[in-house]
Amino acid sequence: LTGGLAHDFNNLLTIIIGNLSALQDKLGEGAGATHAQYVAPSLHAARRGAELIRRLLSFSRHQSLEPRAIEVCELVRNMTQLLMRTLGETIDVRVRLPDSALYAMADPHQLENAILNLALNARDAMPAGGTLTITLSARNLAPALARLGEVAAGDYVQIDVSDTGQGIEAAVLARVFEPFFTTKPFGDGSGLGLSMVYGFVRQSGGNIRLLSTPEKGTSVRFVLPVAQPTSAPARITEQTPGHCPQANGPVLLVEDEPEVRKVIRMQLTGLGFAVLEAADGVEALALLENIDDIAVLLTDTVMPGGLNGHELAHRARQLRPDLPILLLTGYMRAEVEADATLAAIPVLRKPFDPPALVAALRALLPQDANTEASNS
């Protein structure tokens, strides 16, 4: 259900965000500014819709994660100032860390989001102020306990986020991880905060539980698999904002949804690219076989006609090993590819706006392509 929701809604939101972004650019200043005031909130609402889909899919464990070995003590230490500013002066933030480093296998951004979500929930449970305590420790789960927690036996990093707030009634406690369940007034929360944390922890190979006593406070405890420390990955060099190198030939855009294809074509032509279009993988492959100067392939991943985006990318690699390829998907977790030649192909997730497309093309195209195109 959630996979279908992601694909269909993200395609719809791609159309909405793409057209609203184009309209916002055309209205600009002057006489159009009066109408632009209606565009901005619509664009903001569409982006909130995309975020809502991401949150729902995180609960169902279909989000896209980039796990790596992270030093959790350092991550929490770096978050302390942010938490103190976010929670306010009435909340006393305490951090209890072990003397030695603890490494967990997890997506660092999602772990930060999880801790922040738990901290914000704790703040809301302490309207008159109180204490938030984050405790890290090493934990070994024996086989019997691991079976109860539906995880593998072995070593874990345990993270406890505790507050001295109002606590949670037993009837409510049983439902706290349900998506869209919330005790807050309408408009004050989506009911997806704890669902996101639950989905992230379970998808990462850990488990989570919540203990609470009314009028005494709440403690959320979750475990993540341990990892061996590795060297930090190289940072991607920042490019000049707004600059998009040009290709020495047309872009082949492959998308089965006509309105989605129209929006992406509009964005590409607005960036100065010549665009060829195909409605499915079979049509696209024929173009690749017969048009030598196609310089870039942008293809949706899920398409009818017997040749999906991954298969098309594989055939394109066989035809032209150096052809830049960008996969487009409305799903939050791409299919695992056994072919190592496709592992390095970047993925741009729908819905996206022009700046996200520019960033993806900057990473895909050589930075001297613009100069070569200008000199030709």
Give per-residue pLDDT as tens, 278-289. 999 999 999 999
End-to-end CA distance of the chain: 50
Dihedral sign computed on CA atoms, order 225, 227, 232, 234: negative
53 contacts 192 by C-beta, under 8 angstroms? no
Task: Give me the pLDDT at residue 233, please.
Answer: 40
Cα–Cα distance measured from residue 265 to residue 277, given in angstroms and rounded to the nearest whole number: 8
Distance of CA 344 to CAs 246, 306, 314, 354, 367, Å? Answer: 21, 23, 12, 23, 19
pLDDT of residue 192 exceeding 80, the answer is: no
What lies within 8 Å, CB to CB, of 60 at 6+ separation is 1, 2, 199
DSSP state of 232: P
pLDDT for residue 85: 82
Tell me the CA distances in angstroms from 244 to 27, 78, 272, one per residue in order: 23, 34, 9
Q: Region 183-204: what's the mean pLDDT? A: 70
Q: Is the pTM of this model over 0.75?
A: no
Q: How far is CA 36 from CA 16, 266, 351, 364, in A?
A: 15, 20, 21, 33
360 pLDDT exceeds 50?
A: yes
Q: 3-state class of 372 per DSSP?
A: helix
**Average pLDDT, integer, range 40-67:** 70
CB 273 within 8 A of CB 251: yes
Q: What is the mean pLDDT of residues 114-141?
A: 92
Report which of 301, 283, 251, 268 is spatially closest to residue 11, judged by C-alpha positions. Answer: 301
User: Tokens 């017969």 sit at which residue?
Assistant: 290
pLDDT per residue over 220-265, tens digit each? 999 999 998 875 443 333 334 456 777 788 999 999 889 899 999 9
CA distance 28 to 223: 50
Give yes or no for residue 10 having a pLDDT over 90. no
Q: Is the dihedral of CA 104, 109, 111, 116 positive or negative?
A: positive
Q: Give yes or no for residue 23 having a pLDDT over 70.
A: yes
- 211 DSSP assignment: E
Q: If you count DSSP H runs as helices and E runs as strands, how many of each does the chain have, helices first?
A: 12, 12
Q: Give 40's pLDDT tier (boundaries 50, 70, 90).
A: confident
CB within 8 Å of 28: residues ≥ 6 apart: 36
pLDDT at position 62: 53
The Cα 160–Cα 155 span in angstroms is 16
Hey, which residues does 130 pair with through a beta bridge? 91
**Which of the four pLDDT bands, split at 50, 70 and 90, describes residue 160?**
very high
Residue 22 has pLDDT above 90, yes or no: no
Residues 207, 209, 213: CA angle, nearest 5 degrees: 170
Q: Give the mean pLDDT of the chain.
A: 81
Query: Using one digit for the tens of pLDDT, what is the confidence trace for 307-351?
Result: 888 899 999 999 998 899 999 987 655 444 444 456 678 888 888
Task: Provide mean pLDDT across the span 165-172.
Answer: 85
pLDDT digits (tens, 9 = 90+) for 60-115: 545 566 788 999 999 999 888 888 888 888 999 999 999 999 999 998 888 988 89
- pLDDT of residue 372 exceeding 50: no
Q: Which of 14, 92, 88, 99 is nearest to 53 (CA)?
A: 14
15-42: average pLDDT: 77
Q: Please compute the mean of the pLDDT values over residues 177-198 and round it to a whole number.
A: 65
